[in-house]
Amino acid sequence: MSIWRLPAGIRLMSSVRVAIDVGGTFTDVVMSDPATGRLSVSKLPSDPKSGGHGLVTVIERLAREFGANVTDIESVVIGTTVVTNALLEGALARTGLVTTKGFRDVLEIARMTRPSPYDLHRRRPAPLVPRALRLEAEERVDWTGQVLRSLDEAGVAEIAGRLRNAGVEAVAVCLLFSFVNPGHERRIGEILGREIGVPVSLSSDVLPVFREYERTNTTVVNAATLQVIGRFIESLRPLRAGGVERVYIMGSEGGCLTLQEAGRYPVRCIMSGPAGGVIGGLHLAVRHAFESALTLDVGGTSTDVALVNGGVLPFTDERAVGGYAIALPSVEVETVGAGGGSIAYIDPTGLLRVGPMSAGADPGPICYKRGGTRPTVTDAHVALGHIGTRAMLGGEFDVDREAAVGGIEQHLGAPLRLGWIRAAQGILEVATANIVRAVRAISVERGYDPRGLTLIAFGGAGPLHALDVARSLEIPRVLVPRYPGVWSACGILAADIRYSAYRTWFRALDEVDAAEVHSALEALAAPLVERVAADGLDPSRLHVQTAMDLRYRGQSHTLTIRVGDLVARGIGDVTDRFHLEHERRFGHSAPADVVEVVNLRVTVVYPRTTSPQPPSVERRTAPAEPVQHRPVWHEGGEPIDCPVYQRELLCPNQAIRGPAVIEQYDSTIVLAPGDRMEVMEDGIDALVDVQPSRARGKLVCGL
């Protein structure tokens, strides 16, 4: 769907930018001309089998609809789950591991904790490298980097032969204390590259920090997915051959990666999709001067919740995907299996459950008429009249309400001895409860009171659930962007290019001076600048961001503190910042205790674009009238005859009181009795004011 269409006879300049968010159910595409604010958004069912080839076809078709040629496209950024899916599905390269003698079983031992302390039958996933392919090298370096035993290069050559005979397709190398002295690792990499000729990942390149299990597992995941990302990048070749100047992959850390960088470090794309939505939410929070905000991205397969504070992205390096630890920094999101395609079912105890299983795009919900047989969250919305039969994708994607009602009655209503109405309402109540738990985890459990925050709702189903989530948590405001269904792609569109490096650097903070810290950070940044130049970018445009992982002596885990110019002002300022953050996060601090530096972090940012400008929309002057009425079930068993409005027809400051439905191409807002929607004066974004003392809130929304 083109929100803006080019007048006849006029052509665009070569400044069109494209962002693509490949989700489990739908693929969202946004095309933009930043100079004019012209924008086109599209949603289409995802096709996981086509990979990059399918994306090339989509881009070519949408460019024609936008009034442009592929040669008019300056850049394309793709948020993809190709690496994540490969890990979850086990579609990985046959990978070998070379480690220090005596540490062959680090992947097996892991952290010696049970996945679930109350489930005696649940097991950790099997190591990605079987024991027969985990080989030991004769060498030893101590914690200071001093070589205790020189590398046995003849033994490494023998290891190479064994791995070659075993048919490995990639090799990970992770030696003890290589994050302090990487010499042995790099020499092993040279020998393996020469003797086997397969991709090799070194932990001193991928993640040179302490904690042996996490470092080893992250390096193995990187090695095992090198071929996966390589095939995906190769499938994008027709796009570049067709004239697109630059193609990027969205990274986990909130920036996009050049194809070269993604090809080197596929593990940095593990959270490619959710990062875009958080970036978009951050820009909205900054635009509307919200100090802190929660982002709620409800898609077809899952819900991602994040907290943005002080105009910066939240990060974590404590993440597991499919049970495998990934210690690289990524945008911190809490994910639950509650999306439009989440399947509702009755568990063995007779309770109604929703997710995490999803119907996906194929076969999809029952109402899609593509062979789905199990009721989903989308089926519940369709059955209850929240989503009209011709409401999705501007009427291009019709749904079957009768099939949805029948499926809910057969699989849930009859077994639970409920009518289909109560069963459908139960699906939505359970899904909302799942989302509420995720919001609590990202806010309350981190020291933030959600009652003082703004909830930013997007994703195709975000506005459908946001009001009930806000009411449950007494959140006072909900912000809805102009194009909520494709807002993650809009966030991807605004992402800059990032290169990051990390290094363990054990020091007591009061025993180092600013000059020593500055020198260490500069040494960490230098290779990044070299990679920027090697990838064809101008190093003079870089911005450098620095941070430290700090802890009190004796603690196991750290807090990441952005330092920036704090180092220049003195180490005391860094210490004070840590005490304040520790007090906020955990409710206490210990100014008399020794503060330790654990890791240094450097990110160089290459600005690819400016902050996303508000889209150019037609500002109407006359209040819009309902385009139709239809029965909608809210609370209780009786339907209410609700007016249905088209969002693009609403004029600034137009107020609508619930019950009502507001439809648009990429999403739907359902106002229950007592809710109030008011178009904002700028006619762009949406603000929801929810009164915690009342059952219903007030919604303020933008065109």
Is pLDDT above 70 for 4? no
Residue from 359, 248, 253 nearest 312 by CA:
253
φ, ψ of residue 157 to 5 degrees: the values are -60, -35
Quote the pLDDT of residue 266: 94
Which burial class, exposed, middle or buried, applies to 597 when counting CB atoms under 10 A from its CB (0-12, 13-18, 19+)? buried
The answer to whether the peptide bond before residue 527 is cis (omega within 30 degrees of 0) is: no
Sequence-ordered list of residues with C-beta below 8 angstroms from that of 681, at least 6 positions apart, any chain? 652, 653
Q: Are strands 200-202 and 477-480 parallel, antiparallel or unpaired?
A: unpaired
Does pLDDT of 700 surpass 50?
Answer: no
Contact 284, 342 (CB under 8 A): no
SS3 state at 542 = coil
Closest CA relative to residue 299, chosen from 685, 26, 41: 26
**pLDDT exceeds 90 at position 631:** yes
Going by C-alpha positions, the residue among 235, 330, 664, 234 that lies closest to residue 481 is 664
440 CB neighbour count, 10 Å cutoff: 16
CA gap 24, 337 in Å, rounded: 11
Neighbours of 682 (CB within 10 A): 15
Residue 417 vs residues 377, 409, 421, 627: alpha-carbon distances, Å: 20, 9, 12, 37
What is d(CA 83, CA 61) in angstroms, rounded to the nearest whole number?
26
Q: How confident is the model at residue 616 (pLDDT cuts 50, 70, 90)?
A: low
**Residue 215 in tokens:** 């470092």
Q: List, in sequence order, every residue forming a beta bridge with 257; answer none if it has no partner.
A: 249
Are 690 and 454 a contacting pair, CB within 8 Å? no
In 3D space, the residue among 355, 325, 320, 324 whose CA is nearest the CA of residue 340 turns out to be 355
**Residue 631, strand partner residues:** 641
Q: Is the pLDDT of residue 329 over 60?
A: yes
Give, for 196, the enclosing helix (H) or strand (E). none
Considering the domain delimited by 16-86+233-269, tell me its CATH architecture.
2-Layer Sandwich (3.30)
Strand partners, 258: 248
Give which of 518, 430, 496 is closest to 256, Cα–Cα.
Answer: 496
- The alpha-helical segments, DSSP class H, found in 443-503 are 462-473, 487-493
Q: What is the pLDDT of residues 531-567, one digit of tens each?
A: 888 888 888 888 888 999 999 998 988 898 888 777 6
- DSSP, res 563: -
For the domain made up of 499-606, give the CATH fold.
Answer: Dna Ligase; domain 1 (3.30.1490)
Q: pLDDT at residue 611 above 60?
A: no
**CB distance 244 to 73 below 8 Å:** yes
DSSP bridge partners of 661: 644, 670
Residue 401 tokens, joined: 């309400």
Query: Which residues belong to CATH 3.30.1490 in the chain?
Result: 499-606
Strands 454-458 and 292-298: parallel
**Confidence at residue 137, expressed as pLDDT on a 0 to 100 scale:** 96
Name the 3-class secondary structure at 97.
Answer: strand
Residue 112 burial by CB count (10 A; 0-12/13-18/19+): exposed, middle or buried? exposed
- Does position 86 have pLDDT exceeding 70, yes or no? yes
Beta-sheet pairing, 454-458 with 477-480: parallel
Rounded CA gap, 73 and 239, in Å?
10
Pairing of strands 543-552, 595-606: antiparallel
How buried is 474 (Cβ within 10 angstroms: 0-12 exposed, 13-18 middle, 19+ buried)?
A: middle
Tell me what pLDDT residue 8 has: 39
The count of residues in the chain is 703
CA dihedral 103, 104, 105, 107 (to 10 degrees): 90
Estimate the share of the chain in helix, then strand, then coil, as percent rounded to the nearest 5.
35, 25, 40
Amino acid at 315: F
Beta-bridge partners for 69: none
Give dist(CA 77, CA 236) in Å, integer.
11
Task: Provide the pLDDT confidence category of residue 675 given band limits of 50, 70 and 90.
Answer: confident
pLDDT of amino acid 595: 93
Residue 593 sits at the vertex; the CA angle it makes with 591 and 598, to the nearest 5 degrees, is 105
For the entire predicted model, the pTM comes to 0.83
Q: How confident is the model at residue 9 (pLDDT cuts 50, 70, 90)?
A: very low
Integer Cα distance of 692 and 669 in angstroms: 20
Q: What is the mean pLDDT of the chain?
A: 85
What residues are paired with 699 via a beta bridge? Answer: 677, 688
pLDDT tens by residue, 256-312: 898 998 999 999 998 887 888 898 899 888 888 888 899 999 988 888 899 998 878
Query: What is the structure's pLDDT at 401?
Result: 92
Give the bridge partners for 248, in sequence order: 77, 258
Question: CATH 3.30.420.40 region(s) of the chain?
Answer: 16-86+233-269
pLDDT digits (tens, 9 = 90+) for 168-185: 999 999 999 999 999 999
Q: Are 312 and 285 in contact (CB under 8 A)?
A: no
Question: What's the CA dihedral at 116, 119, 120, 126 to 10 degrees?
Answer: -50
Residue 229: count of CB within 10 angstroms of its CB? 25
Task: Kindly give the pairing relationship between strand 170-174 and strand 95-100.
Answer: parallel
d(CA 576, CA 581): 9
Determine the 3-state secondary structure of 535 from DSSP. coil
Mean pLDDT on 422-449: 92
User: Is 98 in contact with 159 (CB distance < 8 Å)?
Assistant: yes
Q: How far apart are CA 257 and CA 238, in angstroms?
A: 19
- Tens digit of each residue's pLDDT (9 = 90 or more) over 134-154: 999 999 999 999 999 999 999
Percent of the chain with pLDDT over 90: 39
**Residues 6+ positions from 117 with CB-CB distance below 8 Å:** none
Closest by Cα among 241, 284, 267, 248 to 19: 248
What confidence tier does 112 reach under pLDDT thresholds 50, 70, 90?
A: confident
pLDDT greater than 70 at residue 49 = no
Give me the pLDDT at residue 114, please.
72
- Structural tokens at position 358: 């999803």
Quote the Cα angle for 373-377-380, to 5°.
Answer: 85
Return the number of other C-beta atoms located less than 10 Å from residue 635's C-beta. Answer: 10
pLDDT over threshold 70, residue 513: yes
Contact (CB, 8 A) for 137 and 100: yes
Give the pLDDT confidence score for residue 609 in this predicted structure.
59
Q: Residue 6's pLDDT is what? A: 34
DSSP codes of every residue in 643-680: EEEEGGGPPTT-EEESSEEEE-SS-EEEEPTT-EEEE-
β-strand pairing of 477-480 with 686-689: antiparallel
Best CA proximity match to 670, nearest among 462, 435, 408: 462
Tell me the mean pLDDT in the region 403-430: 93
User: Taking 90 as the threshold, does the pLDDT of residue 199 lie above it?
Assistant: yes
pLDDT, residue 563, reads: 86
Measured on CA atoms in the order 458, 459, 463, 467, is the torsion positive or negative? negative
Q: What is the 3-state secondary structure (H, E, C) of 16-84?
A: EEEEEEECCCEEEEEEEECCCCEEEEEEEECCCCCHHHHHHHHHHHHHHHCCCCHHHEEEEEEECCHHH
Residue 677: what pLDDT?
A: 82
pLDDT at residue 48, as a whole number: 63
Cis ω before 614 (30° cut-off from 0): no
